[in-house]
Amino acid sequence: MKINTTISEIAKIAKVNKSTVSRALNNSPLVNGETKKKIMEIARDLQYFPNSLARGLINRKSETIGIMLLELSSLKKTLFIDILKGIESACVKYGYNMLIASLSEQREERTFPFNLIKCNRIDGILNICSPYSLNGFSNSCIVDHPVVSINGITKDKNKYCVNFDNYEGGVIGANYFIKRGHSRIAVLTGNQMFNFFKERIRGYRSVLIKNNILFDKNLLQFGCFEDEIKSGELSTYRLLDLPVPPTAIFALTYELAMGAIKAIKRRGLEIPNDIDLMGYGCNELNNIQHFPITTILQNPFALGFTSCELLINILNRKEITGNLFYVPVELMVKAMRIKKKVYV
């Protein structure tokens, strides 16, 4: 495996100084057109590739970011892969590379990703958290290192987090129902200790307040985590059995919505005539196209892209205002009616 071409070799052939070669290759205006052309030609002929280690050494950066994961297995989830694709897209755009910096079980040191910064292997870290993590990354993250957390939560103004705009998702969902004339809007949620549920509900409640609708806690149903579809179904029965049942149900996950559909169907009701229903997010199979009901859509690709772009801006010392960023969600309205027979 032969040694690579260097600027010195090119310089020798072109009969110029290597600094001229460097300038030519870096598109400096301080170089004669003819000279530049000649140099570029030689570089192409010799298949010159700049040594990124030498470059990084003098520029004090590796142009590589570390992807920090609690475990590689997270990548099995479509959500994480889509986030990763967004990250990759931003990396391609800005010429960065991606290093896997997962906290594998085999590594004793939990500071591994940060050590990678210290030894100049990576310039910064994208910390991909699980939405189901409770403490965000506060305990694992060393301040003063360039780190952006995806799905993370923090109260530290020095730590950057990018999330789906869960609050806005709650607002959009509630507003949609209100515009359709509903005032008894139920919510199917998971455990509120998870930030994203809390935020969605916060958004929903803010809309109620704005519309002078009293919050009825009977309309807020908590599902268990083990069998979300089942618990969505059971919660829906409870809602339908209320003395004054809701006219609309806002299911805060795909699975809860599936359960709700099941219950509504079993009761012989129709969506949206008898009761209106909205889902949230998409499922693992990403088959949102076939999901029959109106839904709040999240864009994991955008989440990854935005986060990565933020990190790169931080690395390039761009002015950043704020430390918490939110990726917009959108409403996907499904006009079709859901009749009982559809679900037989």
Q: How far is the CB of 96 from DNA (least distance, A)?
A: 16
Q: How far is the CB of 296 from a second copy (least distance, A)?
A: 24
Among 6, 97, 154, 175, binds DNA (CB under 7 A): 6
Q: Which is nearer to a second copy, 50 or 245 (CB)?
A: 50
7 lines the binding site for DNA (CB under 7 A): yes
Q: Which is nearer to DNA, 44 or 60 (CB)?
A: 60
Angstrom CA distances, 299 to 29, 80, 288, 312, 330, stand at 42, 11, 12, 20, 9
Q: How far is the CB of 106 from a second copy (least distance, A)?
A: 5
Q: Which is nearer to DNA, 19 or 191 (CB)?
A: 19
22 lines the binding site for DNA (CB under 7 A): yes
Q: How far is the CB of 253 from DNA (least distance, A)?
A: 49
List CB contacts of 307: < 8 A, sequence separation 6 or more.
83, 86, 87, 126, 148, 150, 162, 325
55 lines the binding site for DNA (CB under 7 A): yes
Which of DNA, a second copy, none does residue 273 bind to, with CB < 5 to 8 Å depending on kind?
none
* Interacting residues with a second copy (CB under 8 A): 1-2, 4, 47, 49-54, 56-57, 62, 64, 67, 72-73, 75-78, 81, 84-85, 88-89, 92, 97-100, 102, 104, 106-107, 115-116, 118-121, 144-146
What is the contact surface with DNA in residues (CB under 7 A)? 3-8, 15-20, 22-23, 25-26, 29-32, 34-36, 48-51, 54-55, 57-60
